[in-house]
Structure 1
């Protein structure tokens, strides 16, 4: 498979290093080696990559990218190749042309030559060091030092006529670890390909007509995993290695679901990593990266719903795992009831759109806090799951209480939100109706037949008003607030698609569910694993290499699109 480097970064499983096409002020547009630590406020550019000839003039090139190998191709059939030999090391190989690495420098950055002929490059801005070793060819370093820093750093890697060029760029924090014995470049490439094939073998299969999407989703999920480091207490699948370089506390749930069947331990790590950082009050952080967690908002409590889905997909989640998650899930549930019910009416609220995951949904158009039926619906299911876990753990009295609480909240939710034959969102305290034509008001369908025949029928029928040729728009197309690239005011999103398809299946709307899955998968197959999609055209929008989109694609293609001809 090949992918477009302008939309999908080149990286490897476990690595914080990325090669992607970006623009950096003062350095221009092009290919850069990036360090994606520290979150999405910084693209993390470290080196700009250029191809140079024997006169050190820059040569134009085209990029060919596949999971294990990135090649820069010149017009006269020159080829410069990049491959990860480990999550920390990028190997560079060429026969004819050289490579120029121009460091993106800041205060205190410097280079120094080591006694073994390698160079140390110290990036203060990125809080990381690099070792640059030349196995074949020559290395010319231009890094004049003035007062506190190198004023610039330009490294030219030049092939020699007999052996060509073979160099290694390795990241490290303090002292360079002992490096493995030298392996020739072809062996490194084959090892990288073997690692990727091993991941492919653990992916959910899909019908063959979805092979382009399956290939891309498989690569994106493989390459977006980073190793445990800092606040990342477990291996984590980032949302993207473009610029959404964090994990968010509902995005991770969809990745966990896709991994549950064939990689249950990694799936469990995705699910539990936020509970590792749970506040004493019970709230989970909004997002985490290796350096910090954000607590200004949170994400919706879909974790009980997720856990139920995971338990249906794997036997891995046994008593040990249930004991690990039970108390944290109790605290997370209670947090909403204790700290997000300002008017004391027994109905929890969102204090900001970000708390819902639907950041700018029209239910928040008139301000917050907002009581929305989707939040109560998720908590009703979460309480049910806690009741089920309690019984499995022999905590029968607690299980009974959780079931009672679930049933009580269900009754209150219907009384509170079902107005004039439809669900509405209400301003907390005032309980005034917030006019909205948002898809979020149909999420309560996850409760299935618990809602009764009238409400269920309304929700099923109403969903058809959001259903386009590509799937479920997040705002009704006739709404005055609909925007083609309006984030949660129109575009199609993977997580809500999966939630609603599973909801349709729960009420035996199998044909509707299958058709929704087909439309979404066809769209992603043709337009890539984008953060979201234009509901009218299917065009991919925003970040074009998103893991939760990839995971939802894999789940839907595997579970809802039946075929006798699967990718093997």
Structure 2
């Protein structure tokens, strides 16, 4: 925590506090205690913790926070509420459900304030590490005479519960709650009670209690004790630094856009998991709300890093490192990794955006040591593509797989079920390396950009450039072989017949993002992007032209929904060629028409281009990361 005190960037504490207080409830975290394995609730986590909470939505849950949700290979609600507050006075229960309640979510903290019978009850929940959270309760007597209260916390678990009065702890399935010394603990198989009876609170005075609630995905232990006041100040400083870092660099944002930026930050931080098991560096899950996303993905991580570095540089670096920890001896990076490495997916990798990610981290941090650390790995990864994904060795690569399956090859593109791959077949390159029978324009445009980024990184490391000639040759191939002058668009190329796969998708504007298109080609691509029959939809730039027979946003995944990374690449590409107004128009349509972005709704994986409805996973990390890029570039 000490380093966060140093990273205030010259802000006074008073200025920093003003930042946090401006952004209550950027995301609606109110929920009923969840049933079963549903993990669709918006939740709060922080500091890479493997557990999360929500706010109560019902009066009968006053005095409780919902959860925890605990995470491993999947997410599970350990309890609807593991710690519920109950008060009694003179043997009469205080009905907290009838209290005046002020319940809120501030960045980095859940809070509820209850007022009843001249008592003010303030409960605050913050995280203090990648394993531990603090639940702090302050009960203030606003009456004119002393009050004697019995104060009890109680709860249930979906797993067996044990208590230890010696350590004042309650344990259940890796979750540990430690109460103040002197608390009397009792339990049966799945429920417990933690009582402090006969607490006298003088008039105008307060009683305070701090619980440590920890979840250990690896080895369970009794957590340390904490000074809540000190921890709260550190929490405020850290979150105000996040917010101030980003917003001070984007003073043009409106109030609603600032709230969206903060929502992007809390989305990314909630999806952050600290190193555990076989995840060796901290990484960011794609979404806490989808069981299939409880791991770390490669191109997700590189995209996320570019957004995260704008407010948390060290997490951005570790997010990239987490994937390269498993780079193999040939230079390949796995598609995704898990806390159990036996589950890692080596059937494919993902598009080569890692050098871009490292370069963007360097631009924000000027950390040459990070560049030198990553550069050899990036070079090995770049060379791997040409050794394993260039079937005819003509300098143009294809997406492929290690197991010869077309589905894994389509996954490698990141556009899992894109129409352009429907008729593709597999070609064997060598043992453990197969390619689709089409050279993809986006892949080769990414590789062109990667050559330029590698030369920039080599210069930072004090080494000679080595890729400029290759980049120039590749640029000419992309411009001449992948572009259809009649249609005014870029397409994939069939290797055997040298014919173009004329499906209009976002891969066609990637040459603008990488800067490889000519000015004339960019102008023609813009015409297609601007066509309301194709890409200029209510929420713009869908992943398949709206006039294609297979266009189906509700079922299509990459056959119609709007993915925010592709919008960001499209807008940035247009800006690169001087089309600033057109880029701003598309961004405005996105922000105003994608449901929930400018309110307290979750940031979704993708959006319906015609209705604006959010689709698929909620609280999606790379959507949040690319929104931070879009907002900053406006």
TM range (shorter): 0.7 to 0.9
What is the CA deviation profile of residues 171-229 of structure 1, one whole-angstrom value per residue up to 9, with x for unaligned ones?
34446256225x46x77655544432232222244332423312312322333333233
Residue 12 (structure 1) aligns with: 46
Give the 5 Å matches for 1:188-227: 191-204=234-247, 205=250, 206-227=253-274
Give matches, 1:14-413, under 5 Å.
14-20=48-54, 31-38=66-73, 42-49=74-81, 64-70=104-110, 81=123, 83-87=125-129, 88-92=131-135, 100-105=154-159, 110-114=160-164, 116=166, 118-119=168-169, 121=171, 123=173, 128=174, 130-133=176-179, 138-143=184-189, 153-157=190-194, 160=197, 162=199, 167-172=211-216, 173-174=218-219, 176=221, 179-181=224-226, 183=227, 191-204=234-247, 205=250, 206-243=253-290, 244-261=293-310, 263-292=312-341, 293-311=344-362, 313-314=363-364, 316-318=366-368, 320-351=369-400, 352-368=409-425, 369=436, 370-393=438-461, 395-396=463-464, 399-400=465-466, 402-413=467-478
Tell me how far 1:499 sits from its aligned partner.
1.5
Q: Distance in 1 between matches of 2:441 and 2:303?
A: 21
Cα shift readout 1:307-356 (whole Å, capped 9, x = no counterpart): 44445x435143x3333222212211111111112344432111322211
Is the contact between residue 135 and residue 168 of structure 1 (CA under 8 Å) also seen in structure 2?
no
Whole-Å separation in 1 of the counterparts to 2:608 and 2:499: 32
CA separation in 1, counterparts of 2:513 and 2:68? 43
More RCO (CA 8 Å, sep 6+): 1
Superposition deviation, residue 377 in structure 1: 0.5
Contact map agreement 1:387 1:403 (CA 8 A) in 2: yes
Deviations 1:114-139 (A, max 9, x none): 3515345352xxxx353543557654
Q: CA-to-partner distance for each residue in 1:483-504, whole Å, 9 max, x for gaps?
A: 2333222222221122122211
2:598 aligned partner: 525
Are the structure 2 counterparts of residues 66 and 483 from structure 1 closer, same or farther at C-alpha, using a change threshold of 3 Å? Answer: farther
Q: Distance in 2 between matches of 1:330 and 1:246?
A: 25
Name which of structure 1's ranges 428-437 and 274-283 shifts more when overlaid on structure 2: 428-437
Is 1:476 the counterpart of 2:545 in the alignment?
yes
CA shift for structure 1 position 371: 2.4
Partner of 1:494: 564
Residues 438-489 of structure 1: per-residue CA shift (max 9 Å, x gap): 22232222243x4324322221211113122333211112222222333222
Q: TM-score if structure 1 supplies the norm length?
A: 0.80
Structure 1 unpaired stretches of 5+: 23-29, 144-152, 561-568
Q: For each residue in 1:543-566, what CA deviation from the matched residue of structure 2 results, as whole angstroms up to 9, or x when unmatched?
A: 221232222222222221xxxxxx
Query: SS of 2:611's equivalent?
Result: coil
Alpha carbons 1:82, 1:90 under 8 Å: kept = no
Query: Aligned equivalents of 1:80 and 1:100: distance in 2?
Result: 17
2:512 to 437, 445, 452: 445
Change (3 A) 1:417 1:97: farther
**Secondary structure of 1:250 counterpart:** helix
Instruction: Tell me by how many angstroms 1:367 deviates.
Output: 4.0
Deviates more, 1:70-79 or 1:357-366: 70-79
Out of 536, 544, 548, the residue aligned to residue 467 of structure 1 is: 536
Structure 2 gaps, min length 5: 1-23, 32-40, 57-64, 140-149, 200-206, 401-408, 426-435
Q: Do the aligned partners of 2:288 and 2:294 also contact (CA within 8 Å) in 1?
A: yes
Q: How far, CA to CA, are the matches of 1:304 and 1:191 in structure 2? A: 34
User: Does structure 1 retain, via aligned residues, the 8 Å contact 2:136–2:210?
Assistant: yes
What TM-score comes out, normalization by structure 2 length? 0.73
- Asked if the contact 2:439/2:492 (under 8 Å) is kept, the reply is yes
Task: Report the Cα offset of residue 259 of structure 1.
Answer: 3.7
Provide closer, same or farther for how the CA distance between residues 85 and 502 of structure 1 changes in structure 2, counting only shifts above 3 A: closer
RMSD, aligned CA: 3.6
Cα offset, 1:48, TM superposition: 2.8
Partner deviation per Cα, 1:129-169 (whole Å, 9 max, x = no partner)? 535435576543111xxxxxxxxx22344575636975432
Q: Is the 8 A contact 1:135 1:167 kept in 2?
A: no
Q: Deviations over 1:374-416 (max 9, x none)?
A: 00100011122223444555544xx34x222222222333343
Which residue does the alignment assign to 1:150?
A: none
* 1:254 Cα offset (Å): 2.6
In structure 2, do the counterparts of structure 1 residues 140 and 411 end up closer, same or farther at CA, with 3 Å as the change threshold?
same
Q: Secondary structure of the equivalent of 2:604?
A: coil
C-alpha separation between the residues in 2 aligned to 1:20 and 1:353? 37
**Partner of 1:49: helix, strand, or coil?**
coil
For structure 1, which segment, 218-227 or 346-355, has the greater mean C-alpha deviation from structure 2 after superposition?
218-227
Quote the offset at 1:43 in angstroms. 1.2
138 and 306 in structure 1: CA distance in 2 versus 1, 3 angstrom threshold = same
Asked if 1:539 corresponds to 2:539, the answer is: no
- Structure 1 339/93 Cα, relative in aligned 2: closer, same or farther at 3 Å? same
